């Protein structure tokens, strides 16, 4: 597990191969609500067998996940997904009756 502090910067400064993920205020509020609703520890970003990224609530990190803390909210990023989210911004698109996370 690679720990990172708020906004995704690793402890002690950025190092080679460490994922940087920025989480917008809208996204972290939604993650916080989801984790409380599902009694989960955080949100996990993983790469599926088909190669797409998936997001799901998680009880904790897997062994080699990168952990990103932002304003008390936690996002776990699996090793296979890390390259796809490096220097990305996790945001939320909300419309009446629905909400969707997306990376930009």
Res. 25: pLDDT tops 80: yes
CA distance 92 to 73: 14
Mean pLDDT over each residue of the chain, to the nearest integer: 79
Nearest of 104, 103, 90 to residue 29 by alpha carbon: 90
Residue-wise pLDDT tens digits, 38-80 = 998 999 999 888 888 888 999 999 988 888 887 778 889 888 8
Name the phi and psi angles at 76, rounded to 5: -100, 135
pLDDT at 64: 86
Res. 4: pLDDT tops 60: no
Percent over 70 (pLDDT), the chain? 82
The CATH superfamily assigned to 2-103 is: HesB-like domain (2.60.300.12)
Tokens in use for 45?
A: 């970003």
CB atoms within 10 A of CB 38: 13
Q: Which of helix, strand or coil describes residue 84?
A: helix
CA distance 28 to 34: 10
């Amino acid at each position: 597990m690679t720990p990172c502090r708020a906004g995704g910067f690793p402890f002690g400064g950025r190092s080679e191969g460490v994922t940087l993920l920025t989480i917008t205020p809208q996204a972290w509020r939604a993650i916080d609500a989801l984790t409380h609703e599902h009694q989960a520890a955080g949100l996990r970003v993983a790469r599926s067998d088909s190669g797409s990224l998936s997001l799901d609530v998680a009880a904790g990190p897997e062994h080699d996940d990168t952990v990103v803390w932002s304003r008390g909210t936690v996002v776990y990023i699996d090793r296979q997904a890390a390259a796809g989210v490096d220097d990305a911004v996790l945001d939320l698109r909300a419309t009446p009756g629905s909400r969707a996370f997306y990376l930009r």
